[in-house]
Chains A and B, each alone.
Chain A
Amino acid sequence: MVDKISSFPKTWKRPPVFFESAPLRYSLYALALLWFVLAIGTVDVNWSRVAEGMDRGWRFVKGFLTPDFTSRWKDISAGLIESLTMTLTSTVVGIVLAVPIGIGAARNIAPKAVYYVCRSIIALSRSLQEIIIAILFVAMFGFGPFAGFLTLSFATIGFMSKLLAEDIEDIDESQTEAIRATGSSWLQLINYAVQPQVMPRLIGLSLYRLDINFRESAVIGIVGAGGIGATLNTAIDRYEFDSAGAILLIIIFIVMITEYSSGYVRRWVQ
């Protein structure tokens, strides 16, 4: 009797999450380790340069803690206005173009041919990064916020239409059926059956995209597409870390505001 009880396991070991077979698991671990060693090996660090830079890193931390808003305020405010206007116009234009494409890319309400065309537009817009598009648009349209505006609009189209199309595909079909049974036209169907179901999420996503576009507008300036990114790039190139710190703090602050207010608006809409 006593023997029987003691033959039961007294300890318990958590089963592995992946790959039940131990040899496979250990060989994968070994492979990962091998890759890690190889990858670390390729990182060629110039330690004397790093040591030299630590001083500059410290100055950046100090600049971040004691930001200098005043001495470059003219450049900062000009960049900020460019960024903000670029963000708003590109979000609006992007969404206006994304709505028809999104409707066209929803399998349940668009004909097959339109579906494939719209899906390929989305794939094209999503697979190219903003920076790459910005490089091309700057080469075509010249430096300045107009190229940035086009870049952000283009990126917005892919993002919004994809999410909108997925939303439309997920709607409650009984409502479309009910509207269809009244003998409505296609436009009436969209207006009374689809729109009320997707509108709250569409508004939420638009605000989220506004936030993303602002953040991206800070980046595409590096390749010449206008906005606060150009100012930031200049500040860092001149090692004016206190001005750079000020710009970064402004960006963080604006992103925080949009994030909080979009959360508020989303709760209000839903």
Chain B
Amino acid sequence: MMTTPVWQHRTSRANIVLWVGWLFLVALFVFCWQVMTKDTIWAFVADAPEQAADLGSRMFPPRWSYLDKLWVPLWDTMNIATLGTLLGVIIAVPIAFLAASNTTPSTLFVRPVALFIIVASRSINSLIWALLLVSIIGPGLLAGIVAIGLRSIGFVAKLLYEAIEETEKIQIEAVTATGASGAQILNYGIVPQILPAFYGISVFRWDINIRESTILGLVGAGGIGVQLQASLNTLAWPQVTMIFVVILGTVVISEWVSAKVRHAII
């Protein structure tokens, strides 16, 4: 007697592979969990709800009168983000052209260097750049601006060089056919094609930079984070809440502005 074959989602071989994969992942997870929590003091974790309640009672209500002292740092934060974005974009544009495979002068030497600059800038967070720069050029707005700029290079250059590589050849050929020089091809063949992407990327990065520049002050690189650090150090939790409220408001507004602008461009 033959049993009617039942339809199955996967072959039995695929099932085994999948099962072994999951087993491996779970085993890895358990192993990592044990290594990670080796030194965890569970008593501290267990009383977290009490700590949270205690913290909550200290944090509320926010100290609204402190708002008056936050306008200048907020203005600084905006300036760090915007000037940093400008700096990053100015450096990123040539790097993007050097990294794009269709515009790079040399695939063998220049392109790998440009790609390494992009990866190095992208893999190090702006807070770490700030940490370094504060110890090199001293605390203040300049360290923040340079940190934001250095972090932005990788992001902007990566997205921009991908946009350059995706440009249409036909338009570039058409401009070349008119007898245009290299600079003219760049100006009339490539730039118009990547300009919308360029504006979109810059505004997007500006939005991210506003977010990041609010906390740079934690390591002394200026902006509203300096107030945050001071309030944290003195355990002035109502002030901390006030700063969080201001940061949240700024982030929401900048995200809204960036979404509007990107919508208008693209």
Residue ranges of A at the interface with B (Cβ–Cβ < 8 Å)? 17, 39-40, 42-46, 49-50, 52-54, 56-57, 60, 81-82, 84-86, 88-89, 92, 127-129, 131-132, 135-136, 139-142, 144-146, 149, 192, 215-216, 218-219, 222-223, 229, 232-233, 236-237, 239, 244, 248, 251-252, 255-256, 259
From A53, A84, A144, A222, B137 is in contact (CB under 8 Å) with A53
The reply to whether B138 and A50 form a contact with Cβ atoms under 8 Å apart is yes
The reply to whether B248 and A128 form a contact with Cβ atoms under 8 Å apart is yes
Say whether, besides A49-B137, A233-B131, A146 and B248 are in contact (CB < 8 Å): no
The reply to whether B55 and A239 form a contact with Cβ atoms under 8 Å apart is no
- Which residues of A have CB within 8 Å of B124? 218, 248, 251-252
Closest to B135 in A: A236
In whole angstroms, how far apart are the Cα atoms of A251 and B121 in the complex? 11
The reply to whether A129 and B219 form a contact with Cβ atoms under 8 Å apart is no
- Which residues of B have CB within 8 Å of A45? 140-142
In whole angstroms, how far apart are the Cα atoms of A244 and B135 in the complex? 12
- Which residues of A have CB within 8 Å of B135? 53, 56, 236-237, 239
The reply to whether A218 and B39 form a contact with Cβ atoms under 8 Å apart is no
In whole angstroms, how far apart are the Cα atoms of A139 and B58 in the complex? 12
Say whether, besides A43-B79, A248-B124, A131 and B37 are in contact (CB < 8 Å): no
Q: Bits for B48-63, please: 1 = Cβ < 8 Å to A, else 0.
A: 1001100100000000
The reply to whether B28 and A88 form a contact with Cβ atoms under 8 Å apart is yes
Residue ranges of B at the interface with A (Cβ–Cβ < 8 Å)? 9, 25, 28-29, 32-33, 35-37, 39-41, 44-45, 48, 51-52, 55, 75-76, 79, 82-83, 119-120, 122-125, 127-128, 131-132, 135-138, 140-142, 145, 195, 211-212, 214-215, 218-219, 232, 244, 247-248, 251-252
In whole angstroms, how far apart are the Cα atoms of A92 and B79 in the complex? 38
The reply to whether B75 and A44 form a contact with Cβ atoms under 8 Å apart is no
In whole angstroms, how far apart are the Cα atoms of A49 and B220 in the complex? 15
For the A-B complex with A128-B248, A140-B51, A141-B48 known, give 13 more contacts whose Cβ atoms are closer than 8 Å: A43-B140, A45-B142, A54-B137, A56-B136, A57-B137, A85-B33, A88-B29, A142-B41, A149-B36, A215-B123, A218-B125, A222-B131, A255-B123
- Which residues of B have CB within 8 Å of A82? 36
The reply to whether A60 and B44 form a contact with Cβ atoms under 8 Å apart is no
- Which residues of A have CB within 8 Å of B142? 43, 45, 50
- Which residues of B have CB within 8 Å of A89? 29, 32-33, 36
The reply to whether B82 and A39 form a contact with Cβ atoms under 8 Å apart is yes
The reply to whether B138 and A46 form a contact with Cβ atoms under 8 Å apart is yes
The reply to whether B136 and A141 form a contact with Cβ atoms under 8 Å apart is no
Say whether, besides A85-B32, A132-B244, A146 and B45 are in contact (CB < 8 Å): yes
Cβ of B30 to closest chain A Cβ, rounded Å:
9
- Which residues of A have CB within 8 Å of B123? 215, 251-252, 255-256
- Which residues of B have CB within 8 Å of A92? 25, 29
Say whether, besides A50-B138, A88-B29, A255-B123, A127 and B251 are in contact (CB < 8 Å): yes
Cβ of A6 to closest chain B Cβ, rounded Å:
22
* The 3 A-B residue pairs with the shortest CB-CB distance in the complex, in nearest-first order: A142-B44, A255-B123, A85-B36
The reply to whether A219 and B125 form a contact with Cβ atoms under 8 Å apart is yes
In whole angstroms, how far apart are the Cα atoms of A219 and B218 in the complex? 12
From B52, B141, B248, A127 is in contact (CB under 8 Å) with B248
Cβ of A252 to closest chain B Cβ, rounded Å:
5
Closest to A251 in B: B123
The reply to whether B83 and A131 form a contact with Cβ atoms under 8 Å apart is no
Cβ contacts A to B, 5 pairs, < 8 Å: A43-B142, A54-B137, A129-B211, A145-B36, A255-B123
The reply to whether B128 and A219 form a contact with Cβ atoms under 8 Å apart is yes
- Which residues of B have CB within 8 Å of A192? 9
Say whether, besides A50-B137, A239-B135, A252-B119, A131 and B29 are in contact (CB < 8 Å): no
In whole angstroms, how far apart are the Cα atoms of A267 and B230 in the complex? 48
The reply to whether B40 and A144 form a contact with Cβ atoms under 8 Å apart is yes
In whole angstroms, how far apart are the Cα atoms of A3 and B36 in the complex? 85
The reply to whether A42 and B55 form a contact with Cβ atoms under 8 Å apart is no
- Which residues of B have CB within 8 Å of A39? 79, 82-83
Cβ of B83 to closest chain A Cβ, rounded Å:
6
From B37, B55, B79, B120, A252 is in contact (CB under 8 Å) with B120
The reply to whether B36 and A131 form a contact with Cβ atoms under 8 Å apart is no
Cβ of B39 to closest chain A Cβ, rounded Å:
6
Closest to A35 in B: B82
Say whether, besides A232-B128, A256-B119, A146 and B82 are in contact (CB < 8 Å): no
Most buried by B among A43, A45, A52: A43
The reply to whether A135 and B140 form a contact with Cβ atoms under 8 Å apart is no
- Which residues of A have CB within 8 Å of B131? 222, 232-233, 236
- Which residues of B have CB within 8 Å of A255? 119, 122-123
In whole angstroms, how far apart are the Cα atoms of A135 and B127 in the complex? 14
The reply to whether A88 and B32 form a contact with Cβ atoms under 8 Å apart is yes
Cβ of B256 to closest chain A Cβ, rounded Å:
12
